[in-house]
Amino acid sequence: MNDSVIPLIDLSAPDPRALSHELDAACRDAGFFYLTGHGVKTELISAMFDVMQKFFSCTDDYKLHYHIRHSHPHQRGYVPLFDENLGEDTSRDFKESFDLGVDLPRDHPNVLAGKPFSAPNVWPDAPGFKETVAAYHAEMMRISETLVHMTAVGLGLDEDYFDGAMSAPVANLRLLHYPSGAGGDDVIGCGAHTDYGFMTILAQDDVSGLEIEGPNGTWLRVPPRDGCFVVNLGDLLTLWTGGRYQARRHRVASSGAQARYSIPFFLDPNVDAMIETVPTCRDDQKDPQMPPISAGAFLQSRFDNTFSYRELAPQNLAKN
């Protein structure tokens, strides 16, 4: 496989059922696809890259004021260089990020109950940041609803099959900056990994870096394409489909002399959703049928393995 055969899904196509079958084929065969016809305005995407570049250009003291540890365990805020390492080897990720999610009010029942990933967002004191990011997040939620329904139909299920498990999703948005000048054998833009949840919708700038694992451990580029997002599958969708759909390992190569920016939107199920193989995948699933697992517990375990700040007990975090 190479970048020329990564499937293209056009959401503006006139036949929704035929499009669902195209999506099913892309999920089975590639685990990655380009997405066009999505309706997100170019001006909004450009504004997103503008506000995030301005934030990451600020001083370390300013950015650390919003450190993600202050929101533990809800994943809101700034992540400095090397605080998250996704690879399974000893490489370190040369990136910084800012994480946001569904912006819940402090009196929301899930916030009051202390549900993981249920919290108000952390908003930097920066002109236009909140308004731009909130508008973009809303667009990602709109696209996600369409993709979830298409996925169900492609699997031979009712369109609303996943609606209960996706009614209050962990829908995290990440602003990523890969600075220029990374060096050393132990440094990479982002280590090889699979994503954790249902699907990820990625906006890239014009600097290449994203790579997917190909045959025999080779790495294949996924270059930016005008007007397209890149979508990939997550581990929970692999589990939901009994292995019919496979989350694909990917990484980000060091960008060398150029800085790189990207915006992944991670669509994950409700924290209390129980994941078990869907009926249409049980007869041909690749692995023995698993018992139902908690989406929230699965997500927390993956975050605990990759974020250094989560190694500290919550009561210690409050003192820092």
What distance, in Å, lies between the first and last C-alpha atoms of the chain? 47
Q: Judge whether 158 lies within some domain.
A: yes
Q: Is the pLDDT of residue 267 over 60?
A: yes
Q: How many domains is the chain partitioned into structurally?
A: 1
Q: How confident is the model at residue 255 (pLDDT cuts 50, 70, 90)?
A: confident
- CATH number of the domain encompassing residue 257: 2.60.120.330
Q: Judge whether 86 lies within some domain.
A: no
Q: Judge whether 132 lies within some domain.
A: yes
Q: Judge whether 271 lies within some domain.
A: yes
Q: Judge whether 204 lies within some domain.
A: yes
Phi, psi of 190, deg, nearest 5: -155, 130
Query: Which of 82-91, 112-121, 243-252 is predicted with the least confidence, judged by mean pLDDT?
Result: 82-91
Q: Judge whether 10 lies within some domain.
A: no
Q: Is the pLDDT of residue 314 over 70?
A: no
- Summarised one tens digit per residue, pLDDT across range 100-141 is 999 999 999 999 998 989 999 999 999 999 999 999 999 999
Q: Domain limits at 174?
A: 16-81+94-309
